[in-house]
Structure 1
Amino acid sequence: MEFDLVWLLLGLPGAFVLGWLASRLDLRQWRAENRRAPKAYFKGLNYLLNEQQDQAIDAFIEAVQNDPDTSELHFALGNLFRRRGEYDRAVRVHEHLLSRGDLGPKDRDRAQHALALDFLKAGLLDRAEEALAHLEGTEFENPARLARLAIYERSRDWPQAAAVARKLDGVQGDFSQRQAHYLCEQAHERLARQDSEGALALFAQAQAIAPQAARPRMEQARLHLQQGRCDAAYAILAALAREAPMALPLAAPLLAQAARPCGKVAEAQALLEAHYAQAPSLDVLGAIVTLSQYGAPADDTQAGRHWYLRHLQQEPSLVAAAQWLAGERLEHEQHHPQIQRALEHATQPLLRYRCAACGFEARQHFWQCPGCQSWDSYPPRRIEEL
């Protein structure tokens, strides 16, 4: 017993010294790791500010390895991967965050949103839609709905798009015109199946949702004209001219077409001239000239052409000049065709429409831009008039 007690008394100071040394080593290591983690983090931030994304990724990876529990570093790393187009690595980072049991509700929603963006950017629309659906009832609800709306539009799932647009209406702005477009797209699908009555019903519903929208009225009028109901078509277009005059340049050729068979040429011409006096437009001008020539003698090539000269007195329009010159006799008439071809070639770019959102130009007017997918981004006027 005495021998054991002596060794115990001798061993206690030694154990204390060894424990103290071990704690000092652990403390130094902990301090060193803490110094390395912020250093790597700030190094990555510096690279990011200097737009050196490769070096920033390496620095953030080092920081994550030193401090794997820091969620902010994971978010930064995942976003960098997504910006570089490395979507698989971004997905792994955000899925790792979601698998952590210690992640708070806000960070979990944030990681879910980031994961949905990864899938969306990678073109995995089904997985993106599923990930976005989990964000209902969170602070990311409205951004998620907007992203789902873009998915449904891209896949032309108009009923689903309309359902999401109804939820966004009044919360993220006015989505009534967007809903009207969806109904018009569904109406065109009905027309492809020879269901003209169903299409007319959808056009009427679209007009009720967005009374100021031009598309539903124009689509109804065009369909009535195709079916020989010129009076109904003219009535719709005349109402459009009164209630949405800014869209009349788009509807003017259709109005002139509807006025002739139903005997309302004079009325239509007066309506177009009144609008032209308030807001001169090339398309309204063309419709006025067309109606002026209706009923004129066959040998009268000058009927209504004075309107081009009146337009030139107000606007230095190359398009109007070319249209006027097309019916004129020149001193050297043998050169007229070549001159006319040159003028028509020069005016083609001026007759295009340009998207106000992305600048995409097209020969025809689009309700949805083929370039940026924006709705109602094409003004109703040609490039020369902008």
Structure 2
Amino acid sequence: MDFDFTWLLLSLPIAFVLGWLASRFDLRQLRFENRQAPKAYFRGLNFLLNEQQDQAIDAFIEAVQNDPDTQELHFALGNLFRRRGEYQRAVRVHEHLLSRGDLSRADRDRAQHALAQDFLRAGLLDRAEAALQKLEGTHYENAALLSLLAIYERSREWVQAAAVAQKLDATEQASYTARRAHHLCEQADEQISAGNATTASAMLQQAAALAPDAPRPAIDMAALQLRRDDANAAFATLRALSERAPLALPLYAAMLQQAAVAAGHAGEALALLQRRYEESPSIDVLEAVIALGGVPPALPGALPSPDDAPVPRDGYIAHLAHQPSLVAASRWLAGERFEHEQFHPQVQRALDQATRPLMRYRCAACGFEAHQYFWHCPGCQAWDSYPPRRVEEL
């Protein structure tokens, strides 16, 4: 049987037409998908600018599905998830980016940094630490060191914090000497608690040499010297500090008074405190003066007449002449006798209750208040953010 070539000749044009139609269909589909991706991207951007994060996320997810190779869409989507608190989804996005073999070095470092931020915001400090350590030697190294420093300070790992702060200090982009001195003081506190006073003293001396103008190393050293019954050394330390850091005197005025009494230098301490009080009145300095049996300098007419010898309690009246103070008024009234003395305890309790919040310290960075003075704010983790004065005096 002979083969009929007629059918072959007819099938060639038909195959060509079918191939051409198929290619046109694929091309249209490709063009449609390419148009859909930027449309979804711009729609998501518009939602983002209008602070409609839910709709923006939906639009970006659609754009990523249409164009899964676009890194910028993944970064935008991951950052949106993190801002919304959906840290698990943000981690998945950035881990997916890191798993891609075609990612450039710069984008890989960027994804690693974003992943570390996801762990930080989620409170997964161990995983954040591991992610940040992988950024050493990259463009994000300085930012990673700052984040590591915050992690170590928050978890009170002072040895690691000191090492990171030293690296940051070496970059010369900012000075971290004061913070490194704080780290040494914190380590000294731990050594004191463990009974290693000699090691603690060496650390405090190192901190003082590192930040000679910072008041904390000297204050902590004086406290350690008092614990070791060396009142003369403690008084000498605080007397020298009063010349370098007079504004911080309210923080250590009571300790100065205690060391002076124990060392037999009460008269010298009283003169020093009275002089500093005259320069900058403070309730803490006032109480130290009164504890030493003195009265601070007063404005004319603030104290009883010269015929009546002033007593230490009159110091509160002298303080009221310098500045209004509910605390000073309450302390003065506590020692007074009145016609209706039977009601005095109730009135005094009410005044003490009212003045208790006024004796707090307040962080200048976040407003966190505490009766104890903090060098490291427990609210915002800032250093040296507490003024050395009570809330009433701010």
Scaled by the length of structure 2, the TM-score of the pair is 0.91
Residue of structure 2 in register with 1:25 after alignment: 25
Q: Deviations over 1:183-242 (max 9, x none)?
A: 111112111221111111111111111111111111110111122110100011011110
Change beyond 3 A, Cα 1:325–1:301: farther
Q: How does 1:339-378 map to 2 (within 5 A)?
A: 339-378=347-386
Residue of structure 1 in register with 2:244 after alignment: 243
Q: How many residues get paired?
A: 380
- Does structure 2 retain, via aligned residues, the 8 Å contact 1:360–1:371? yes
Distance 2:159 2:357 in 1: 37
- After TM superposition, the structure 1 stretch with the greater mean CA deviation from structure 2, 157-166 or 39-48, is 39-48
Matched, 1:328 2:329: no
Residue of structure 1 in register with 2:346 after alignment: 338
Distance 2:309 2:188 in 1: 41
Residue of structure 1 in register with 2:113 after alignment: 113
Equivalent residue of 2:382, what SS? coil
Change beyond 3 A, Cα 1:74–1:222: same
- Deviation of 1:33 after TM superposition, in Å, equals 0.9
Residue of structure 2 in register with 1:155 after alignment: 155
Q: Deviations over 1:25-59 (max 9, x none)?
A: 12211121122112211222222233332222221
What letter matches 1:119 in structure 2?
F
- Does structure 1 retain, via aligned residues, the 8 Å contact 2:360–2:370? yes
Please list every run of 5 or more consecutive structure 1 residues that lacks an aligned counterpart in the other structure. Answer: 295-299
Matched, 1:285 2:286: yes
- After TM superposition, the structure 1 stretch with the greater mean CA deviation from structure 2, 366-375 or 15-24, is 15-24
Residue of structure 2 in register with 1:258 after alignment: 259
Equivalent residue of 1:292, what SS? coil
Distance 1:62 1:7 in 2: 48
Residue of structure 2 in register with 1:220 after alignment: 221
- Deviation of 1:330 after TM superposition, in Å, equals 2.2
Distance 2:150 2:126 in 1: 13
> RMSD over aligned Cα, in angstroms?
2.0
- Deviation of 1:154 after TM superposition, in Å, equals 2.3
What letter matches 2:93 in structure 1?
V
What letter matches 2:390 in structure 1?
R
Equivalent residue of 1:371, what SS? coil
Please list every run of 5 or more consecutive structure 2 residues that lacks an aligned counterpart in the other structure. Answer: 296-307
Residue of structure 1 in register with 2:181 after alignment: 180
- Deviation of 1:159 after TM superposition, in Å, equals 1.0
Q: How does 1:1-386 map to 2 (within 5 A)?
A: 9-169=9-169, 171-292=172-293, 303-386=311-394
Distance 1:81 1:61 in 2: 11
Residue of structure 2 in register with 1:297 after alignment: none
Distance 1:91 1:167 in 2: 28
- Does structure 2 retain, via aligned residues, the 8 Å contact 1:158–1:182? yes
- Does structure 2 retain, via aligned residues, the 8 Å contact 1:214–1:240? yes
Distance 2:160 2:172 in 1: 18
- Does structure 2 retain, via aligned residues, the 8 Å contact 1:269–1:288? yes
Equivalent residue of 1:364, what SS? coil
Distance 1:97 1:301 in 2: 82
Distance 2:310 2:10 in 1: 125
- Deviation of 1:4 after TM superposition, in Å, equals 7.3
Distance 1:12 1:206 in 2: 90
Change beyond 3 A, Cα 1:373–1:13: same
What letter matches 2:157 in structure 1?
D
What letter matches 2:178 in structure 1?
Q
- Deviation of 1:23 after TM superposition, in Å, equals 2.4
What letter matches 2:51 in structure 1?
E
Q: Deviations over 1:51-99 (max 9, x none)?
A: 3322222211111100100111111111122222222221111011011
- Does structure 1 retain, via aligned residues, the 8 Å contact 2:270–2:294? no
- After TM superposition, the structure 1 stretch with the greater mean CA deviation from structure 2, 24-33 or 40-49, is 40-49
- Deviation of 1:172 after TM superposition, in Å, equals 4.3
Distance 2:102 2:287 in 1: 69
Equivalent residue of 1:115, what SS? helix
- After TM superposition, the structure 1 stretch with the greater mean CA deviation from structure 2, 163-172 or 132-141, is 163-172
- Does structure 2 retain, via aligned residues, the 8 Å contact 1:82–1:90? yes
Distance 1:174 1:309 in 2: 44
- Does structure 2 retain, via aligned residues, the 8 Å contact 1:273–1:288? yes
- After TM superposition, the structure 1 stretch with the greater mean CA deviation from structure 2, 13-22 or 66-75, is 13-22
- After TM superposition, the structure 1 stretch with the greater mean CA deviation from structure 2, 83-92 or 202-211, is 83-92
- Deviation of 1:268 after TM superposition, in Å, equals 1.1
Distance 1:240 1:3 in 2: 114
Distance 1:55 1:376 in 2: 43
- Does structure 2 retain, via aligned residues, the 8 Å contact 1:302–1:327? no
